[in-house]
Amino acid sequence: YLSNVRMGHGTTMLLLRNGHMMSTGDEYRQIPYNMTSLWEFDWLGKVHHEYEVPNAIHHSLYEMPNGNILAASNARDLFTAGTREDVAVVVDRTTGAVVKEYDFRRILDETRAPFNHFDPGVLHALNVDWMHMNSVLYDAEHDAIVVSSPIQSQVVSIDAATGEIQWILGPHDGYDGSSASLAKYLLTPVGTDFEWSWGQHGVEILPDADHDPGTIDLLMLDNGQNRSFTEAGAVLAENNYSRGVVYRIRLSDRTIEQIREYGKERGSDGYATFLGDADYLPTTGNILIDFGGQLRVEGKPVDRIIGGVLGTIETDSRIVEVAPSGQVVFEVASRGNPYSTSAETYQVLRLPVPSLLTVDAPLGAVRGERAGESYLIHASTATKVPPIFFGRIGVSFRRLVNENGRLVVDGSLTYDDRTYLLGKALVIFRSRTRAYVFPANSGLNGRFFASIDTKEMPADTYRISIAGAVRMGTDAASGKTYQGHVPTEYKLTVE
């Protein structure tokens, strides 16, 4: 079993064609799941390749026909771009380099603002999650990139070469004003018993069931969040439902029909506000559905995603396998326990047994390879080092690791032993004659992260301290702040 608690929260684990697994690594760029690397590992835990990706990786991975990895990502400078989780990247499997970027700020409308429950409620945040890309896949038959945005309730296909939109699957609400130019790409529903998906996850292209090259069959989990573009029309969690659904798109006239569904008949018992998956099982034709993020308070469904992510409310999940007849042939529920409120499942996969036996080399016989480009924070020359220690800021570290001159920092700030939602930290190195300041990346609840190139500093022994500030309330631009500068018990020697 896999027990690395530092791997990215809510990111796919991909079964590669060579029998290895791939997932995100153990170094955060931003919590809870933006990670700076990909790991390719075998079934004994041997990491064969680490691909460092400065854009950071989250949510979704896809192995392209040439072996390269298509991944959900960000603009390279995540903290000055103003947005996040809206770029798809292609990572070269040999060099680890990001060889292609699809920036959806230039493809869709980042100002379109459906009512949703993904927003953590931080005003004036450094980067806004307007898209929350959670699926990326390559449509080889049409040389297209298909991505999913649960916040926008959009599944979008673009030309892989040009980035031009081919079609948009989603409800037709909210396509006025700055979004009006996108309306021409919307699919038109045909047939009976049709419903749009809302806040979807786990988009998958199915085999060609009707033997018509002019159609595409898509499977997804329709989470159903709100089932409305506006708050006024939102369906309450206690009255809502989630479902696995298959759509058929006819490309010639941009029409869409609903082929198959399961989950609506279970009502709110199966409702999952977020997370989840739907997989087609080719040997049986069954569909494996993961109702992955079932938020519950005293057993009743709620839509409080941020509470689930922060662990303040219970998150359950349920996995159901359904035959083409609609008969349930397998079901298992995952629930919280006295040790954790989180029993979520982001995705689900039935693994072929032979893949479990794929081990290329004894542990230690083959060296793992690292490729790509590290994301490094550089010393700030504009920030002065506080001359004294002051304030009631506290600091603790989850990780403080020196990797051959690269210092990996994962810490937390408190003030008077209390945690605050918003905070900022500076990592300071001071010797007898010099000092260097590295501004860390900020996360929620006081978390901060840094990947520091210590080779920038001359040979010396440096004491490590943290200058930090926490902010009252949820406005990142205003509100009372508490500042401090505290020593740590650590020193770093640069040789």
Say what the pLDDT of residue 342 is: 86
**443 CA to centre of own chain:** 14
Name the burial class of residue 104, with classes exposed (0-12), middle (13-18) and buried (19+) by CB atoms within 10 angstroms of its CB.
buried
201 closest CA partner among 326, 291, 333, 101: 291
Count CA atoms closer than 13 A to 370's CA, side-chain side.
8
What is the biggest distance separating any 2 CA atoms in the chain, rounded to whole angstroms? 77
pLDDT, one tens digit per residue, over 379-401 is: 988 888 999 999 999 999 999 99
- In DSSP terms, 396 is beta-bridged to 412
Q: Is residue 248 predicted with pLDDT exceeding 70?
A: yes
pLDDT, one tens digit per residue, over 28-39 is: 998 888 999 999
Q: How far apart are CA 142 and CA 157, in angstroms?
A: 10
Q: Length of the chain, please?
A: 495
Cβ-proximal residues to 77 (8 Å cutoff; 6+ apart), any chain: none
Q: How far apart are CA 237 and CA 304, in angstroms?
A: 10
Give the mean model confidence (pLDDT) for residues 46-64.
95
Backbone angles phi and psi of 13, in degrees to 5: -115, 115
Say what the pLDDT of residue 361 is: 66
227 closest CA partner among 146, 116, 326: 116
Element housing 305 (H / E):
helix 305-309
Copy the structure tokens of residue 223.
């989470």
- What's the whole-number average pLDDT of the chain? 93
398 closest CA partner among 384, 383, 388, 408: 408
pLDDT, one tens digit per residue, over 157-213 is: 999 999 999 999 999 999 999 999 999 999 999 998 999 999 999 999 999 999 999
Per-residue exposure over 111-125, b if at least 16 CB sit within 10 Å of its own CB, e if not: ebebbbbbbeebeeb
CB atoms within 10 A of CB 188: 11
CB atoms within 10 A of CB 126: 17
Strand 47-63 versus strand 369-372 pairing type: parallel
438 closest CA partner among 426, 423, 455: 426
Say what the pLDDT of residue 365 is: 81
- Torsion sign over Cα 264, 265, 271, 275: negative
Say what the pLDDT of residue 78 is: 87
More confident call, 360 vs 309? 309
Q: Is residue 366 predicted with pLDDT exceeding 60?
A: yes
Range scoring the smallest mean pLDDT among 226-235, 317-326, 332-341 = 332-341
pLDDT, one tens digit per residue, over 261-301 is: 999 999 999 999 999 999 999 999 999 999 999 999 999 99
Report how far apart the first and last C-alpha atoms of the chain are (Å, whole number). 39
Q: How far apart are CA 443 and CA 365, in angstroms?
A: 38
Range scoring the smallest mean pLDDT among 32-46, 102-116, 145-159, 354-368 = 354-368
pLDDT, one tens digit per residue, over 399-448 is: 999 988 899 999 999 999 999 989 999 999 999 999 999 999 988 889 99
Side-by-side strand order, sheet with 201-205: 188-189, 255-262, 243-250, 215-222, 201-205
Cβ contact 7:23 at 8 Å: yes
263 closest CA partner among 323, 205, 302, 221: 221
Cβ contact 220:197 at 8 Å: yes
Say what the pLDDT of residue 1 is: 64
Say what the pLDDT of residue 272 is: 98
Say what the pLDDT of residue 230 is: 97
Say what the pLDDT of residue 423 is: 93
Name the burial class of residue 373, with classes exposed (0-12), middle (13-18) and buried (19+) by CB atoms within 10 angstroms of its CB.
middle
Cβ contact 121:306 at 8 Å: yes
Cβ-proximal residues to 193 (8 Å cutoff; 6+ apart), any chain: 258
Copy the structure tokens of residue 365.
């016989």
Question: Above pLDDT 70, what percent of the chain?
Answer: 97
pTM over 0.85: yes
- In DSSP terms, 471 is beta-bridged to 422, 481
- Confidence label for 121 from pLDDT (cuts 50, 70 and 90): confident
